[in-house]
Amino acid sequence: MSSEPASPSSIYSDEEIITRTMGDVIKDYDTEELIEYLRRKDLKLDNDDFAIFRNEKIDGLSFLELTREDFTNFGFKGGPAIKLAKFISNVKEQKLRSFSSYKTVEELKELLREYKVNGDNITSIKQFNPIYEKIDDDDEALKQCIAEITLRLAQIKSMTDANEATRCTFIESILHASIAVARRETNKEIDIEYQRDISGEETSGRVDYAISGMEDLLCITEGKPRNIKIGYLQNIKQLESSFHTNKRRTVDQAFNDDGYDYLYGIVSTGVDWHFIMFTSDGLYCTSKTEYQIDLTKKVLRGSRENLRDNIKQIIGIIVGLLKDRAMACDEPENKRRRMQEKIGK
């Protein structure tokens, strides 16, 4: 019998069956959320068209029931009426795609093009400097984390061929220690949820770990066995959906002229750690900087200072990200200023 500890991630298959359609998402939109969604679809609608949505109090549920004739009766010109009726027909049957179905480098390249990244690799994404929170050597959360990792490392055969479930046990120790410190430093409720369901526009599914403060999602973590590039692909799609979730919770702010916001993502194999900042203006990451934890057996045979320092660095970064996002003022301009500090603008 294997001595590897069980992980919540291991009880799910890699392939998720998604039955939700885009219609299921749209039906919950109020009028302003629907208008913002249609703006992003670039249907060439103008302010006069959106004024009709407001005047007729068309929300997501009623929108899905409308026909070309209905739109014409409401006062839409022929062109917009035809496009909207056809759009409704398509989205009713459009299945949401699961995060786990994104698996190829070609899909990553296409995604980077969508976000106007000047290149087709993760190192082409603009870089940012994560905030680092100093962690004392005698911090209780740090000491417990080191003890857990040391115990687990002593019991596994090797991290070289370790599967995702095994790697997630190490990731979880880091995340829990980071959240404990962040809660203490901010005096705010910051929680972690395993395998949380998130539905955005066009994609849906479970994320390995969702870290939230109050209601807003602060950070989405993706644990991968080896392929960091595909981890980036899936994590960006998860952040995209999470970003929409956050915006819907702050409608008054999200749909004004400057509803600026951002949140963080983490992609990790347990050994390698990458950080992503998803903003209203685009993507940023740390792909050119090496953040690692040495999880080889040799760290158990001698001085463990290197292991402690590796763990401290990663926890310090995650605490810095969580503290930054949890303490960010709700004003969009304040969030924009904080983001610009991290990218050196």
Tens digit of pLDDT per residue, the chain (345 long)? 334 444 444 334 445 566 778 888 899 889 998 998 899 888 999 999 999 999 999 999 999 999 999 999 999 999 999 999 999 998 888 888 899 899 999 999 999 999 999 999 999 999 999 989 999 999 999 999 999 999 999 998 888 888 888 999 999 999 999 999 999 999 999 999 999 988 887 888 889 999 998 778 888 988 887 789 999 999 999 999 988 777 665 544 433 445 678 999 999 999 999 999 999 889 999 999 999 999 988 888 877 899 999 999 999 999 999 999 888 755 556 666 666 666 766
d(CA 142, CA 152): 15
In a shared domain, residues 264 and 139: yes
For residue 302, what pLDDT is reported?
Answer: 77
Residue with tokens 């398509």: 90
Crossing angle of the two packed helices 31-40 and 47-55, in degrees rounded to 10: 160
Residue 57's domain is classified under what CATH number?
Answer: 1.10.150.50
For residue 69, what pLDDT is reported?
Answer: 97
Q: Which two tokens stand for residue 133?
A: 């929170």
Name 268's bridge partners: 223, 273
Domain count across the chain: 2
314: helix, strand or coil: helix
204: helix, strand or coil: strand
Distance (Å) of CA 210 to CA 114, 191, 219, 334, 339: 25, 8, 6, 24, 21
Is 117 inside a domain boundary?
Answer: yes
Is 337 inside a domain boundary?
Answer: yes
Domain that holds residue 41: 22-94
In a shared domain, residues 122 and 49: no
pTM of the predicted structure, to 2 decimals:
0.81
d(CA 52, CA 85): 15
Point out the domain boundary residue: 94, 124, 141. 94
In a shared domain, residues 86 and 103: no
**H helix intervals, 115-266:** 140-155, 164-186, 228-249, 251-254
Is 33 inside a domain boundary?
Answer: yes
Point out the domain boundary residue: 94, 118, 141. 94
For residue 56, what pLDDT is reported?
Answer: 97
258: helix, strand or coil: coil
Cβ 9 vs Cβ 268: under 8 Å = no
Residue with tokens 């994560």: 130
Q: Which two tokens stand for residue 266?
A: 């983490």
For residue 251, what pLDDT is reported?
Answer: 44
Is 5 inside a domain boundary?
Answer: no
In a shared domain, residues 235 and 338: yes
19: helix, strand or coil: coil
Q: How far apart are the first and last CA of the chain?
A: 54
Taking the mean position of all CA atoms in its chain, how far away is CA 272? Answer: 18
For residue 339, what pLDDT is reported?
Answer: 65
Residue with tokens 């870290």: 211
For residue 3, what pLDDT is reported?
Answer: 40
Half-sphere exposure of 82 (CA within 13 A, CB side): 3
Name 57's bridge partners: none
For residue 9, what pLDDT is reported?
Answer: 41
In a shared domain, residues 110 and 246: yes
Cβ 225 vs Cβ 163: under 8 Å = yes
Is 11 inside a domain boundary?
Answer: no
